[in-house]
Structure 1
Amino acid sequence: GLPPLTLPSLNLGEIQQLFPAILTLTFVSFVEAFAVAKSLASQRRQKVDANQELIALGTANLGSALSGGYSVTGGFSRSVVNFSAGANTQLAAIITAVLIFITVWFLTPLFYFLPQASLAAIILVAVVNLIKIEPLQRLWRYNKADGVALLVTFFAVLMTGVATGIVIGVAFSIILYLWRTSHPHIAIVGRVGESEHFRNIERHEVSTCPHVLAIRVDESLYFANTKVLEGYLTNAVLKYPQVKHLVLICSGINFIDGSALETLEQLIQELEQIGVRFYLAEVKGPVMDHLEKVNFPERLGRERIFLSTDQAMRTLECV
């Protein structure tokens, strides 16, 4: 039969003891449910609202808590079986709920001796069609790092379980992101023909000026990559001793954190000491707003900040 509806009795000590497990369970439950929803929705060209899914899971878990049930989430196996059966609307969930209610009340003794292998076979037959190797192969060809992240998460889930596996996958993805952003793409650029466009000198036929060095950074600046940028700019100036002006193109910079700003100011002073003037071009509005708060434009000189690379190069007589 069904348990009565009761309020859970929890004291502060129990809440503190259970909070880490609750936090992990909440995260894993939502990730699992949303992943299942996206996987199934993509096969019918439908969209999934993450906020609506979160509200639905929260409401379902409130009901489960009042009846003494387990944490509720979107189960992959059950969802796939339901999907394979041709379910299209919420009516399928209502029918399932009614059948479960009848089973719990009247048919439990009949299902007690049902072999688990038969249930597993139903799930495997439904799930096998969702296993697709081609997306993994395509992802591996496009970016091996993303492919490694997928494989790490996959094997972590198999060996440690869903909760721990997802945590390992998220941690690995964060490490991968930090590694990527700490090694930004930096390029010396030159003018393409007589146009206003500037491209990488190693990829295109461009014209440059011996007294001006234009460098583009394709990543936001923060503590993990400032030393890489500092080393690149310093080496570039040493490689081209005739350079008198260095233009940093900021079209790929979405933010500059405090550590990066401090490093940038120190670099500007070092360049000034060896006779190289520093300029900025194509600084985005939000980045400039933060620079304004610490009076960076005044300290650098507003005349050294340009709206476009073309404007900077023409001002420095590099056309």
Structure 2
Amino acid sequence: MQLKSISKYIPVLDWGRRYDRTAFGNDMVAAIIVTIMLIPQSLAYALLAGLPPEAGLYASIAPIILYAIFGTSSTLAVGPVAVVSLMTAAAIGNVAAVGTIGYAVAALTLAALSGTILLMMGVFKLGFLANFLSHPVIAGFITASGILIAASQLKHILGVDAGGHNLWEIVSALFVKMPETNMTTVLIGIPTTVFLFWVRRGLKPALIKLGLGSRMADVITKAGPVMAVFATTLVVWYFHLVDAGVKVVGDVPQSLPPLTMPDFSVGLMADLLVPAVLISLIGFVESISVAQTLAAKRRQRINPNQELIGLGAANIGAAFTGGYPVTGGFARSVVNFDAGAQTPAAGAFTAVGLAIAAVALTPLVYFLPKATLAATIIVAVLSLVDFSILKTSWRYSKSDFVAVLATVLLTLGFGVEVGVTSGVVLSIGLFLYKTSRPHIAEVGLVPDTQHFRNINRHQVITDPHVLTIRIDESLYFANARYLEDYLLDRVIGEDTLKHVILMCSAINEIDLSAVESLEAINHRLDEMGITLHLSEVKGPVMDRLKCGSFLDELTGKVFMSQYEAITDLGTDPPMSKSKVVDAKPDPGKTAKAS
């Protein structure tokens, strides 16, 4: 019993007891494939973060092992990812110069802060906070980030020194530096980019046509970036292209991840706190989305709060082993899943493979051109660009479209920090806007049934002496006054009206502000000679209402069902003087509930 309780927080104690030879074989195959993919990718993402290439390898070793111990996904592959790498560069670029010791230390501190935030969120079960980030807004931010990342790497394809924090600055700097373009670098970068795009889309079908099995064709396709790395490194070395101005990776330490210490000075942590929070939230949203999607395909379950603990441990591990902030990556996780990974042990085996690469293979990348790494990044991040989210959000909701478009434009125009901050603010603002204006429907009885529906959508029976209003949202401080104004505006001028029934079937929560609004409604209606009633009140809501004096002062009754209320209060024979309202569209509410 005690082991079962502990295994909730250390999942390896659960799946580790059931580990067998079959799972080992599947995990090992997956680890080999993912390791091949991760070697060039890790080097490339470190370049994107403005860090030495070995930082990418270091950030892919200890964090993966720690996630395997504390994480709940059997296929999530943790390590550096494009968006977090870009956010890391933006954050620490404000506090230290690229290439300095202070820059590397700031990256460690950012990882430590991010890990601590994630760990605390997991311990206090705050995973729900990520729900405040609207998925369309996050999709818009990732799309804009993909464009920014691809644009930022063009300087390596052209062989020029050009920077910038937003799209305008990047494009302007590239335009100014265009005369300094190194054509030798271009002749490496552009063909490599084209080759990697072809590998992603065309190599596997070509290999299958040649008679290779699907599994082997898939492995060779995933090794495409490694082929590009090998070929371009060989070309630069053999033809002495460094003398022609081609920029290369250079010396990479031949060692396992070192023990490192972040800088916990108050000033630096204050500067990095907000970026750390944003990186934590964006990283968690990306990671949990991938983990849940892949888990659903195998009918497995992901524990979001434990995922926070796993990602927190991974980031803290990165902070003390020479890395920088990490999260679960989409591309590598899908590869891990497709390769047949059965347990988190596949990640641990991948870490071993990367450790071997860090010790034995790093001298081989001295002549690796930065243009090749840039091509790897460009091909990877352009798959994140999805402008269809604009079309989808426009078709579904104009407010969602405005939020997505604003996030995209702000990210491109002002950089990732402004973009992601605006995304968070817009997500919360969008939620508050929508819930502050709840859908309210006037309902009537569907003939020959006991069901009530919107009078603007269905042919229903209504009573001129009874008004039934259905509120399709929980009531709280932001929308309580809206209901009050709507209801009082509706009853003005209705001289025959005697009863108002609030149908509460869709109200799941109610706060003190909403109760006070109900008290005001009850008082105002009473002054008009109208009685207020409630129907279909849920238990938790009734418990709240009983806490105060509202039920004692209520002028009417609380009915178990809406049909019971109409039967009790109806002043006309069922079909004689009741009116049937023709179904008609409700302008502006075509997507609302019936």
State the TM-score, normalized to the length of structure 1: 0.82
| 1:278 to 2:532 alignment | yes
- The CA deviation at 1:272 is 1.0
The aligned amino acid for 2:484 is E
Distance 1:227 1:149, change over 3 A: same
**Structure 1 stretch displaced more, 113-122 or 7-16:** 7-16
Counterpart position of 2:328: 74
- By relative contact order (CA 8 Å, sep 6+), the higher-ranking structure is 2
Match of 1:119 among 370, 373, 387: 373
| 1:228 to 2:482 alignment | yes
Is contact 1:244-1:277 (8 Å) kept?
Answer: yes
The aligned amino acid for 2:435 is T
C-alpha distance in structure 1 between counterparts of 2:263 and 2:545, whole Å: 53
Is contact 2:515-2:550 (8 Å) kept?
Answer: no
Counterpart position of 1:62: 316
Match of 1:212 among 455, 460, 466: 466
Listed one character per residue, the Cα deviations across residues 196-231 of structure 1 (whole Å, up to 9, x for unaligned) are: 112222222112222111111112222332332222
Distance 1:316 1:180, change over 3 A: same
- The CA deviation at 1:46 is 6.4
C-alpha distance in structure 2 between counterparts of 1:149 and 1:261, whole Å: 32
Counterpart position of 2:46: none
Counterpart position of 1:24: 278
C-alpha distance in structure 2 between counterparts of 1:246 and 1:238, whole Å: 12
Match of 2:341 among 54, 79, 88: 88
C-alpha distance in structure 1 between counterparts of 2:296 and 2:405, whole Å: 22
Distance 1:32 1:280, change over 3 A: same
| 1:183 to 2:437 alignment | yes
C-alpha distance in structure 2 between counterparts of 1:248 and 1:43, whole Å: 43
Counterpart position of 2:567: 314
Question: RMSD in angstroms over aligned alpha carbons?
Answer: 3.3
| 1:256 to 2:494 alignment | no
**Structure 1 stretch displaced more, 207-216 or 100-109:** 100-109
C-alpha distance in structure 1 between counterparts of 2:482 and 2:380, whole Å: 50
Match of 1:105 among 351, 355, 359: 359
SS at structure 2 position matched to 1:248:
strand
C-alpha distance in structure 1 between counterparts of 2:475 and 2:337, whole Å: 48
C-alpha distance in structure 2 between counterparts of 1:10 and 1:141, whole Å: 48
- The CA deviation at 1:307 is 0.9
Is contact 1:78-1:123 (8 Å) kept?
Answer: no
Identity of aligned residues (%): 48
Is contact 2:390-2:405 (8 Å) kept?
Answer: no
C-alpha distance in structure 2 between counterparts of 1:125 and 1:44, whole Å: 29
Match of 1:292 among 518, 538, 546: 546
SS at structure 1 position matched to 2:522:
helix
Counterpart position of 1:172: 426
C-alpha distance in structure 2 between counterparts of 1:205 and 1:174, whole Å: 38
| 1:247 to 2:501 alignment | yes
- The CA deviation at 1:244 is 1.1
Counterpart position of 1:304: 557
C-alpha distance in structure 2 between counterparts of 1:311 and 1:37, whole Å: 47
C-alpha distance in structure 2 between counterparts of 1:148 and 1:100, whole Å: 43
SS at structure 2 position matched to 1:168:
helix
SS at structure 2 position matched to 1:242:
coil
The aligned amino acid for 1:297 is L
Specify every segment of 5 or more residues in structure 2 that has no aligned partner in the other structure, as ranges.
Answer: 1-254, 575-594
The aligned amino acid for 1:145 is S
Is contact 2:256-2:359 (8 Å) kept?
Answer: yes
**Structure 1 stretch displaced more, 3-12 or 210-219:** 3-12
Listed one character per residue, the Cα deviations across residues 155-196 of structure 1 (whole Å, up to 9, x for unaligned) are: 544555555433322211221122212222222221111321
SS at structure 2 position matched to 1:207:
strand
Distance 1:174 1:47, change over 3 A: same
Distance 1:15 1:172, change over 3 A: closer
Listed one character per residue, the Cα deviations across residues 253-279 of structure 1 (whole Å, up to 9, x for unaligned) are: 222222222222122111111211111
C-alpha distance in structure 2 between counterparts of 1:15 and 1:69, whole Å: 17
**Structure 1 stretch displaced more, 244-253 or 38-47:** 38-47
Distance 1:271 1:190, change over 3 A: same
Listed one character per residue, the Cα deviations across residues 77-121 of structure 1 (whole Å, up to 9, x for unaligned) are: 6556x4598463546534542343233334334323322332343
- The CA deviation at 1:73 is 1.9
| 1:201 to 2:459 alignment | no
Distance 1:290 1:84, change over 3 A: closer
- The CA deviation at 1:7 is 5.7
Is contact 2:466-2:498 (8 Å) kept?
Answer: yes
C-alpha distance in structure 2 between counterparts of 1:121 and 1:275, whole Å: 75
Residues matched between the structures, number: 317
Listed one character per residue, the Cα deviations across residues 125-158 of structure 1 (whole Å, up to 9, x for unaligned) are: 5566676666764554333433444444445445
Counterpart position of 2:74: none
- The CA deviation at 1:292 is 0.4
Listed one character per residue, the Cα deviations across residues 3-44 of structure 1 (whole Å, up to 9, x for unaligned) are: 543665635666555444433332233223234445666777
Is contact 2:442-2:469 (8 Å) kept?
Answer: yes
**Structure 1 stretch displaced more, 267-276 or 254-263:** 254-263
SS at structure 1 position matched to 2:508:
coil
C-alpha distance in structure 1 between counterparts of 2:551 and 2:288, whole Å: 45
Match of 2:491 among 217, 237, 241: 237
Distance 1:211 1:257, change over 3 A: same
- The CA deviation at 1:124 is 4.8
The aligned amino acid for 1:235 is D
Counterpart position of 2:194: none
The aligned amino acid for 2:440 is I
Specify every segment of 5 or more residues in structure 1 that has no aligned partner in the other structure, as ranges.
Answer: none
